[in-house]
Amino acid sequence: MKAIRFALDECVVVVEYPAHAWLSPFAPRELAVAVRAMAHTAANLTCSTSLSVDLHLVDDAAIQFANRKYMACAGPTNVLSFPGGEGMRGILLFSLDTFGRECLLYGQEPATHILRLLAHGMGHLAGLGHGAVMDTVCAACFEAARVAVD
């Protein structure tokens, strides 16, 4: 797997781009800009310190392994969040395989769907569980990312 890395201000985003990256509607730099916008938005809305994020684009095998090992769940999923804690980087694992299937199965527009999934992962990186506050933060993260990549 070839890594393409982007350092964007204090929120360094590492994007690992696998061979089947054509499934992403965004180029690596666009994804890095979108995730940076989400990280700043989530940090501002949750009154937390700036979020630093590593985004890893993976296949179903990699995310299925992580899902089983760290979440005790079987099978692949679309996104997994691993908050970094104080002074540590958070990690988002994003399965391009699952994302591609969901776009086809559910009729999702790829650019919108990827940003919504990443916004959801960012909400968890900010320490939020599911609920009204999470929904508000995710909506704001989605909008910030949409504006950043337009």
Question: Residue ranges per domain, the chain?
Answer: 3-145
Confidence band, pLDDT 50/70/90 cuts, at residue 3: low
User: Which has the closest alpha carbon to 77: 22, 120, 108?
Assistant: 120
- What digits encode the pLDDT tens for the residues 6-25? 556 656 666 666 677 778 89
Instruction: Give dist(CA 148, CA 150) in Å, integer.
Output: 6
CATH of 3-145 among 3.40.390.30, 1.20.1260.10, 3.40.50.300, 3.40.50.1700: 3.40.390.30
Confidence band, pLDDT 50/70/90 cuts, at residue 52: confident
Residue with tokens 């104080």: 86
Residue 86 has a pLDDT of 72
- What digits encode the pLDDT tens for the residues 86-116? 777 889 999 999 999 999 999 999 999 999 9
- As a whole number, the mean pLDDT across the chain is 88
Q: What is the dihedral of CA 27, 32, 107, 72, to 10 degrees?
A: 130
> Which CA distances in Å does 150 have to 26, 76, 145?
11, 30, 9
DSSP 74: -
